[in-house]
Amino acid sequence: MSGHSKWNNIKRKKEKTDGARAKVFTKVGREISVAVREGGPDPASNSKLADLISKAKRMNVPNDNIQRIIKKAEGGDKTEYEAITYEGYGPGGVAIMVETLTDNRNRTAADLRHYFDKHGGNLGAVGCVGFLFNQKGVIDISLEDKDPDEAMMDALDAGAEDFDAGEEAAEVTTSPEDFSAVCKALEAKGYEFLSADVAMVPTTTTTLTDPDQLTKMGKLLDALEDNDDVQNVWHSLENEEDLP
């Protein structure tokens, strides 16, 4: 999921992930492996694992695959993944945060620096853009056959902080601590999730109008998201729907 989660962005991301299913499985698999090692293989007592299993199922990862990853991690898979967040600026000064899980930080840092340099950006020091983002739970639900006002009340009753409805979908924002509880409450009421994750949401956004900058920004995001070590890319681009 990229940037501040709006329905146009979700559709773009879904189109990309549908065409790269194996890569999606790899990324979710790494997250699940780390969660099992840190909190054990039982989702009943490991809330992080429970959230990731739900996420994997929403991304159409087969249950057999999920259980295989859990068993492999439980059985002592020796691959050690390190969580590192990189920060920088894209074309036109768009703030970018890149969350990674890597077994080789030198390789990952070199890859990311290459992507930023090649596509008109600049990989910066830790903290250079982090202050421009807040961590939030972001849940996008389908409003097909749903009453927006009723959906808003359901979300707020479940503990959501904000609700933003469009024609086809609504964005539900929560605190990171309330994310799991709100997800469970909305799932129990039968809402279809288009996307759900704890995200870095920009406090201010940047609009790009120059076609060359938009092209470079699109290529930079594609390069980052295609890298197996990259788990999430968050950015402050306001008009992601204008990317080629």
pLDDT tens for the 244 residues of the chain, in order = 344 445 555 555 655 655 566 777 888 889 999 999 889 999 999 988 998 998 888 888 889 989 998 998 888 777 788 999 999 999 999 999 999 999 999 999 999 999 999 999 999 999 999 999 999 999 999 999 899 999 999 999 999 999 998 888 999 999 999 998 999 999 999 999 988 888 999 999 999 999 999 999 999 999 998 999 999 999 999 998 888 8
Name every residue whose Cβ is closer than 8 Å to that of residue 15 and which is 6 or more positions away in sequence: none
Q: Which fold has domain 82-131+205-238?
A: Alpha-Beta Plaits (3.30.70)
Distance, CA of 91 to CA of 212 (rounded, Å) = 9
Portions of the chain given CATH number 3.30.70.980: 82-131+205-238, 132-202
The pLDDT value given to residue 3: 44
The reported pLDDT for the residue numbered 26 is 84
Tokens matching residue 72: 């492999």
Residue span(s) of the chain under CATH 1.10.10.200 come to 7-74
CATH of domain 7-74: 1.10.10.200
All residues at 6 or more sequence positions from 213 whose CB lies less than 8 Å from its CB, including other chains: 91, 92, 120
pTM of the model: 0.84
Contact 74, 80 (CB under 8 A): no
**CA-wise closest residue to 236 among 217, 215, 223, 222:** 217
Looking at residue 12, its pLDDT comes to 59
What is the reported pLDDT for 79?
A: 78
Question: Token pair of 162, please?
Answer: 């904000």
* DSSP category for residue 162: E
Q: What is the pLDDT of residue 2?
A: 44
Per-residue pLDDT, 25: 80
**DSSP, res 79:** P
What is the model's pLDDT at position 119?
97
The CATH number of 132-202 is: 3.30.70.980
DSSP code for 207: -
pLDDT at position 179 = 93
